[in-house]
Amino acid sequence: MAIITVSRQLASLGDEISAKIAEELGYAYFGKKEIENRIVELGFPAAKLAKFDERKLGFLAALTRGRDEYLNYLQTAIFEAASQNNCVIVGRGSFIILKELENHVSCRFIADERVRTDRLQKELHCSFKTAAKKIAESEAQQKGFHKGFFNFDIHDPAMFHVLVNTAMLDVDSIVASLLALTKSCVTPEKDATGHKKIEELLIGQRIVNMLVFDYNLNINFLRASIENKRITLHGVADSSAIVEKALTIVSCELPDYEINSVISIVQDFKAYRQ
């Protein structure tokens, strides 16, 4: 009936709360391992994950085509998970990727830095200094990941339905509150609308993957939006011939859809290097 996405600070108990919500609702759970495994299964090299997966992009990584490839595979994995409905998805900007869905509830878990440092120190049996360093590193990586891939400030609460300070509430109370919220705000009508939308998003992402990975078309920032059996291609290409080829391919693959393009033609635009 709902898709719950979770963003969390390190040692904010976000993973524990997410798992318990999934258990209480009988929902599928997609955490770090599940999403990583699916990204690799889809075709992204496992050796490259460390450069991009919930990481702050380095200067060179941000300028390579691998950055866009990772994002395409990530979005595919998130859309596939969401298409199952009744699921909890943790991290990786899923709350942004699924922001258009009406049956989506986005949560962010935070806590005072001192509280989180104490928790991590006990969990890892390490010094306070080591725990504090790990938290600072995690904060920087999370901030950089969301800025680099989605141009979003992770400290901005505007995109979350719920922002919870886990230093002030216990896990059971938080879980009970979120269960009640989910059941009350996701109506059957919203669920049906959201399910239709995720099907469109998944088709759009598969179109992008087909053009980029199967046909190797040089269209950067490619995106396919779908509404009422109409597909619109967005992006930047260096020739109209590439755009025409893309339109022909999509028309052949999806003959029941009307195909349009708003791809910008920039003749001196150069593709990213690998």
Whole-number pLDDT of residue 267: 72
State the average pLDDT over residues 96-112: 96
Residues 6 or more apart in contact with residue 104 via CB below 8 angstroms: 2, 3, 4, 5, 82, 95, 98, 194
Residue 190 near residue 102, CB atoms below 8 Å:
yes
Instruction: Supply the mean pLDDT for the chain.
Output: 92
Structure token pair of residue 1:
């009936």
Q: What is the pLDDT of residues 186-224, one digit of tens each?
A: 999 999 999 999 999 999 999 999 999 999 998 988 999
Rounded Cα–Cα distance for residues 206 and 136 (Å): 37
pTM for the structure as a whole: 0.91
State the average pLDDT over residues 141-164: 94
Q: What is the pLDDT of residues 7-29, one digit of tens each?
A: 999 999 999 999 999 999 999 99
